[in-house]
Amino acid sequence: MQTSTGSYTDPSITVYNFMKTIVERARKNAKDYPLSEIHRSFHRVIIHQLSGSPTTSKDCTIIVDTLCLVSSQASFIFHEANQDVEFLGMLVHRLIELESVGSSDNQAELKGYVPSSKRKLCNAANRLWMKLLELKRETLQEFFSISLPSASSSKTLTESSGIPSVTDSTLFKLHNCEAHRTAILSKMFEEFTFEEASDVGLTQSQKLRSLGRMMSKRVVDVDPKEKAREIWFFIHEYVSVHCPRLIKAVHSLERLLQKKYKRNCDYSLRFTASKWSHIVYELTRERGLWGPAEPSFLDKWMLDSVEGPSRMRKRMCRNPHFYQHYPFVSRKVLREEYIGQHKPPRSHDSVFQHCRSQIFKETSYLSLPVAQVHGQDDLVASLPIDYGIEPSGLTEGNKTVPGSYAEGTKSEEDTEDVSSPTVEGISPPEPINQEKTDDPVNQAVTRMLVSDEKIRFQCKCAKLEGLDAKEGVLLLGKCHFYVIEGITLMEDGGFIDIESISSLDFVPVVPKELRKHMQPSSIHPPIKCNQWNYDAIKEIHKRRYVLRECALEIFSDDGRNHFLIFEKEKMPKVYQKLEALTPKLQGGQLEDLVAGVKAGANVEEGSSRFLLFATEKSLVQKWENGEITNFQYLMHLNTLAGRSYNDLMQYPIFPWVLKDYESESIDLSDPEVFRDLSKPMGAQSETRLNKFIKKYEEPMPIPFPTDGKEYHKYHYNTHYCSAMTVAGYMIRMEPYTRHYLNLQGGHFDWADRAFHSISNSWKSASEQDTSDVRELIPEFYYLPDFLTNENRFLLGVKQSMHLLGDVILPPWAKGDPREFIRINREALESDYVSLHLHEWIDLIFGCKQSGQAAIDAHNVFNPYFYEENVKDIDKMDDSSRGYILNIIHNFGQMPKQLFKKPHHRRRLPTLLTPSIESQLSASSWWKVFYRDIHLLEISKEPVLKVRSEIGQIVAEKHPMAIEKNKLLLPSSYSKFFGWGYNDRSARLCTAEQERTLAIFEGLHQGQILCATAPSETIILTGGDSTVVCVWELKKEGRDKGKLTMQLTQVLYGHTDGVVCLTVSKTYRLIVSGSADATCIIWDLNKMTFIRQLSNHAGPITALTINDLTGDIVTCTRNNVHLWSINGEELVFATITQGPYSSITCCAMSELFAYDKDNVIVVGCSDGVVRVFSMTYVNETHSKQQKEEKKMEKNRSSDSLVEPRRSKGEDQSGMEEENITSEKDLSIHSENPMVSKEETNVSKNSSALEKEQTLKKWEALGPKQ
């Protein structure tokens, strides 16, 4: 209740009532309570309220209120049980001082006091004095050894003209009484020493000077002889009584200083170790200076949070702590400690990692493997501070720049931004020098901020990731805002790390009822900073957390987003401030917005940014007209309804669209293969629906009714999308595996209940299990990686003796997860689904979500899933609130209702449905070139003319081309960056007149060979120096007219010149190709190494990234390689051309991600443009046939590659993929073909026999 500055945050009456209650209880049970100590504490509160010097109107008001309060409660305070005479002496002394100040004629000492304040102070002091005479006259006379007037005589004199006061001649003797002065000085010194001992920030000299000032205030205007006597008494009292107390106080102070010194040393060590670990990692990582040249099969990956187009999360990032979460457990330990229990979660690779760690156990720190440096080492694993900043975009780089932080930012409410709505009369805090910030946590925060940053606002928050909420602080600066994890705010506005604060003092933002479901934090929770520029914020959405409006989801243009939870009353204020500081929230193109709608538009009450009716086309109209795909529309609706990737309790919802998972092939033009989208999952089977109807007719009691109804009718007690549903689907992929284990109690569930088969999951959700009404999640339509057990988890063995591994796919998927995802997505975009998707939208987001329409549609769920039934959850008692929060956490919650009326049907035909052939015939002008490749002809006249060899072609509103060694800068393409000049300089020029704007010299140690640009101000260059340099174009000078290039990052990894560069803004990736025959994928946000693409036959000659799917094409002289976004080699082809010819450029079709006929186009130096297409054909061969076919191929073609073993052992079959050239657009006609075999071994648990399936790309040949 008391802050470090010494002032109470609550009014005095609140403090008094609290202490009064304690005193009353102690007086009733004096034997059970230390009555004297309680009285002493009570008295200290009163003296504290009177101790302030009345120099301001505020302090004077507090003193007068306290005097009046004590007077009105005098009979209670001065009860006969109260025998604290020291308190009476100090109270009398204080009354003398206050009355003397109030009666003084020296207005200079009053500092702005008005006469009315003087009279109030005098009257209050006199009134209390008379109460003292009435109740404690004899005690005072005995204590001061003087005679005092009676209370009755005082009242009589008060009524007459002469009003006695505490400054009467009789009472004035009290002021000079030696005993009283000694008691006062002793009490003052005792309190001073113990109070100052707790303040470790003051030096000894400061304490002595403060003590001297306090003593001098009490001996002013005293006779010199009297002053000498008082000093003598003071010294005598000090030597005899207070010296031991002072020694004790000094010891306490030294212990505090020692504790703080150790803490500072600990943080310094951790900071140094953190920096050192990053250096070691960069030196020893894959392709590092001392690291391995090739990746290890023990490297583990997890899903990255960066979102691509249509909010698809496809990228994988390294998982350095994998083996910490899934360590090796010996068989002996399993036999002795886990008999009859669930086994701990493990991976097949844990034993290999254990062996490797034992080999390197005795070696030096630098020779440790990457995984151990980044996760296994005890010191590095316990580092609490991550001083690396994760910036938004490239404008700030990822440097750690020492800055200044305003430590004096008093509190959450007092730190306001002048440019934003402010509290009247409160000015923003000024930054302080870093040298004055001696607290290690403040120093850590200071290092994370941009130089000269001024913090305008701060408040507590929690960052939600899946199910884990990491407590932290939100800081709003002048140009940036920060989310710092691992620290929290104290009452005085200072920072403290969560590990240093006790659980009793720490009040988390997340309800305590949910914290037990979260992963236990490490011994030292890391202090991590996420930083954005306000210009990088794309959208901000209000969010619910456990059906409470207390969160915000912030989307940035770098593909990341953060789900921040606040105290419920603080969230609107934070939203208002961020909205005022973010320029992009008021504009932007509709296609660029995450929710697909502009700011300020509303669907229904409570939903924002949904343009339903406007002059331009709304989101609904765009979907109805076929201008956006079904997937895009569903993702927009999920975003608007509050569904988020960051919250597993309200994850995005997608429908099951197919019901045929048994056929060898599937015909998407047949309506019988689709589910009934007008019915919820519980109504797909008539038999099971009858059970749900019978359940609805029997009202069920609920333990804690929230709407006055003790009985509720509902069909389903489980939700179609819950945290367990999401974690169960994603069980094979981190970090969802850890969330699943946390929900499951730390172990994998029984194998028969785990997600292992698409067909079985559909049957369970549609007809078999009455507790299963699951829908799907977005990953079923774009992410094949979650269907494979790449982490090699030991998921258990089913009762049928099948070992769980990869998910069993439908036969029509040909055993390939990519093909399953493609067909499933094609089905989602089919004509049938387009015509009926609005019916499913009504069930989930529309008019059939609740009310009578939901009853008629058999779509009523547990009442706790609905927001309107738990609006008063914060007012409930702990047991009720805990029960309801657990229901929401474990079983899910309804999305926001977006539509009150039935949704409109989509109009067909459309241009974006997968039945493209029918659309081509209906609209002859809409031609996809690779479907009518025979119509392609070389134009009679050149489309564009340039002076020399073409280096870049840009296809925007109209095609643009520029010469070699020149790069058009997006997004206006009105300027170009040129290199390769004789003086080795680089230049920035205008595109039309080629007027030189700036010349840059000495950028590389050697020649620049290639360049690319993700934006107009960021340029990446590569050259024969083997490094990739990241430059930022800046305007400097007085008038900001001088252009300069500032180096922000250098990317190391190649061993030969970097000859190709490409960048994907949608997936935030950089790919560099080198003459060392490798490509490296870099993170565009963090500018760090991700992985390498090897197995090339020679130097890289061309690169491209598909911005729609993330697939990567790399080319060497005669080879074309196709890779997934996560580095899996899908297929490659070898073309036949002249000895002096090579591939010079490449491109991919990006119209339909799910189109099986997508093509790769390459241009060669022999003047030939080659178009490659891919098609699946499934054939089953015996082992002997496979060997004969392989030997025949090796004899007949010298361009074939040897079969390679895949990483996994749980996939079924063997893959052979061929790419063929559809047409060579030149006078030559070739049909080169190359095959790649990929062997995967599958264990049949019944017969343990190996089945091999041959899957190849069918050669179509050139079309005539």
Q: What is the mean predicted confidence (pLDDT) over 926-936?
A: 73
Q: What is the mean predicted confidence (pLDDT) over 561-574?
A: 91
Q: What is the mean predicted confidence (pLDDT) over 884-896?
A: 86
Q: Is the predicted pLDDT of residue 167 greater than 50, yes or no?
A: no
Residue 1023 pLDDT: 93
Q: Is the predicted pLDDT of residue 196 greater than 50, yes or no?
A: no
Nearest to 749 by CA among 771, 766, 724: 724
Q: Are 630 and 833 in contact (CB under 8 A)?
A: yes
Residue 712 pLDDT: 80
Lowest mean pLDDT among 647-651, 723-727, 836-840, 1166-1170: 1166-1170
Q: How many C-alpha atoms does 690 have within 13 Å on its Cβ side?
A: 2
pLDDT bracket for residue 707 (50, 70, 90): low
pLDDT bracket for residue 266 (50, 70, 90): confident
Q: What is the mean predicted confidence (pLDDT) over 782-786?
A: 95
Residue 919 pLDDT: 39
Residue 791 pLDDT: 93
Token pair, residue 829, equals: 């975009």
φ, ψ for residue 854, nearest 5 deg: -70, -35
Residue 826 pLDDT: 93
Token pair, residue 236, equals: 């005598």
Q: How many CB atoms lie within 10 A of CB 585?
A: 20
978 forms beta bridges with 966, 987
Residue 1112 pLDDT: 95
pLDDT bracket for residue 444 (50, 70, 90): confident
Q: What is the mean predicted confidence (pLDDT) over 540-558?
A: 90
Q: What percent of the chain has pLDDT over 90?
A: 32
Q: Is the predicted pLDDT of residue 989 greater than 90, yes or no?
A: yes
CB burial class (10 A; 0-12, 13-18, 19+) of residue 1017? Answer: middle
Token pair, residue 1106, equals: 């598909």
Q: Is the predicted pLDDT of residue 966 greater than 80, yes or no?
A: yes
Taken in order 648, 651, 656, 657, is the CA torsion positive or negative?
A: negative
What is the DSSP secondary structure assignment for residue 413, as one 8-state letter? T
Residue 133 pLDDT: 80
Q: Who has greater pLDDT, 496 or 103?
A: 496
DSSP string, 1176-1196: EEEEE--HHHHHHHHHHHHHH
Cα–Cα distance, 1052 to 1110 (Å, whole number): 23
Query: Cα(first)–Cα(last) distance of the chain, in Å?
Result: 87
Q: What is the mean predicted confidence (pLDDT) over 346-369?
A: 71
Q: What percent of the chain has pLDDT over 70?
A: 69
Q: Who has greater pLDDT, 445 or 1032?
A: 1032
Residue 516 pLDDT: 62
pLDDT bracket for residue 992 (50, 70, 90): confident
Q: What is the mean predicted confidence (pLDDT) over 39-61?
A: 73
pLDDT bracket for residue 510 (50, 70, 90): confident
Give the three-class secondary structure for 203.
Answer: coil
Consecutive H or E run containing 284 = helix 243-284
| pLDDT, tens digit (0-9, with 9 covering 90-100), for 130-164 | 888 888 777 777 777 677 776 555 443 233 333 33
E strands of 1206-1246, at which residues?
1214-1224, 1233-1239
Q: Is the predicted pLDDT of residue 1233 greater than 90, yes or no?
A: no
Ranked by mean pLDDT, the top range of 90-104, 388-402, 431-445, 652-666 is 652-666
Cα–Cα distance, 191 to 197 (Å, whole number): 10
Q: Is the predicted pLDDT of residue 656 greater than 80, yes or no?
A: yes
Task: Collect all residues with Cβ–Cβ distance below 8 Å to 5 and sequence separation of at least 6.
Answer: 492
Q: Who has greater pLDDT, 957 or 595?
A: 957
Q: What is the mean predicted confidence (pLDDT) over 798-814?
A: 91
Residue 502 pLDDT: 63
Average pLDDT for the chain: 74
> Which amino acid, residue 955?
A
Residue 1196 pLDDT: 37
| pLDDT, tens digit (0-9, with 9 covering 90-100), for 1134-1186 | 887 777 789 999 999 888 888 888 899 999 988 888 888 877 655 443 344 44
Consecutive H or E run containing 575 = helix 571-581
Q: Are 1031 and 1048 in contact (CB under 8 A)?
A: yes
Token pair, residue 754, equals: 């785990």
Nearest to 727 by CA among 739, 745, 709: 739
Residue 239 pLDDT: 61
Q: Are 700 and 711 in contact (CB under 8 A)?
A: yes
Token pair, residue 881, equals: 């609130």
Q: What is the mean predicted confidence (pLDDT) over 844-862?
A: 92
Residue 137 pLDDT: 79
Q: Is the predicted pLDDT of residue 312 greater than 90, yes or no?
A: yes
Consecutive H or E run containing 354 = helix 350-359
Cα–Cα distance, 1100 to 1077 (Å, whole number): 6
Residue 340 pLDDT: 72
* pTM of the predicted protein model: 0.72
Question: What is the maximal distance between C-alpha atoms in the chain?
Answer: 130
Q: Is the predicted pLDDT of residue 1077 greater than 90, yes or no?
A: yes
Q: How many CB atoms lie within 10 A of CB 1183?
A: 12
Please confirm whether the linkage preceding 971 is cis (ω < 30° from 0): yes
Q: Is the predicted pLDDT of residue 488 greater than 60, yes or no?
A: yes
